[in-house]
Structure 1
Amino acid sequence: MKKLAVLVIMISGAAMVHAQKIQQGKVPVSVQTTFKNQFPEAKKVKWEMEKDNFEAEFQSKGTAYSVLFSASGDIIETEVPIKINTLSTPIRQFIAKNYPDQKIKEAAKITDSKGVMTYEAEVDGKDLIFDMNGNFIKEIKD
């Protein structure tokens, strides 16, 4: 009986995760066109819905990308993972002071549609966003 319960929980969890992902055929042509033009060498593309926008996660030239598109095909932001140790000293100091005993799990550089760059550090299930100078901007709960 316990095995059946575990199996049902696993299937339910997989179904919830799958519900966030979408098939490429459900991505608007405008989004697919922009994507193909901007990232012609993309491989292992996975699509997800993020509110009313479309997110593509993929590899290109050995780099992992996450790009957020509006439904009309405009790029909203591009996110590229970076090594945690490349985060600036002010960012690491802010995290050490405000999230003691917490480790940075992931880090990324985000570039918005206007070319403005920010940094993201994932700590304790939250994304912490910083400007180029390492000033804290906001916290986003995952």
Structure 2
Amino acid sequence: MKNIFFVALAILCAVATGCAQKKVPAAVDSVFKTKFTNATNVSWDKENSLEYEAEFTMKGVKYSANFSNTGKWLETEQGIPYEELPELVKQSFTNSHKDDKLKTIAKIETSEGKMYYEIEVKKLLSSEEFFYDANGKELQDDDTDNDAED
């Protein structure tokens, strides 16, 4: 009897999770499917009242993409290895954060045509993110924010 209960509970959780991920506005879903036709393992989160984020895989690489609630693509973040960072970014990061332990690295492309890099480092009980342009200039948060309003 316990096994039936746990199986039913697992099915209920799977259905609830699937339904929660389908609450993306049709405009957002349509633009996502057009822009990322080869995406697999897609999961959605609502970043805030104006923005949705899809996490997915393409050709074995992890991505995330953000969209306004009206379907405007805002940015795409692609996980990359340290070796793929531009040399100037590596130098700048090493000069100012040489003792930090790397956690993740991403290349970010925005709807405004900007390209920058995010380096996340491990801290004692948390992590910290640093952003750089391709020339190795460290950017402030306001240099990297996207506005979800149309």
Q: Check whether TM > 0.5.
A: yes
Q: Is the 8 A contact 1:31 1:72 kept in 2?
A: yes
**Is 1:33 the equivalent of 2:25?**
no
Q: Choose from 96, 105, 108 the match for 2:106.
A: 108
What is residue 69 of structure 2 aligned with on the other side? 71
The amino acid of 1:74's aligned partner reads K
1:9-44 deviation per Cα after TM superposition (whole angstroms, max 9, x unaligned): xxxxxxxxxxxxx82321111100101111122111
1:86-131 deviation per Cα after TM superposition (whole angstroms, max 9, x unaligned): 2233323333333342112111110000221001111131111111
Q: Percent identity?
A: 38
Considering only aligned residues, what root-mean-square deviation do their CA atoms show, in Å? Answer: 1.9
5+ residue gaps, structure 1:
1-21
Q: Indicate the structure whose relative CO is greater, using CA pairs within 8 Å and at least 6 residues apart.
A: 2
Number of residue-to-residue matches in the alignment:
119
TM-score by length of 2: 0.71
5+ residue gaps, structure 2:
1-18, 143-150
Q: Choose from 50, 53, 61 the match for 2:51.
A: 53
Q: Which has the larger radius of gyration?
A: 2
- Within 2, Cα distance between the matches of 1:96 and 1:139? 20
TM-aligned CA deviation for residue 56 of structure 1: 0.3
Q: Is the 8 A contact 1:127 1:139 kept in 2?
A: no
* CA spacing shift, 1:61–1:85, aligned 2, 3 Å: closer
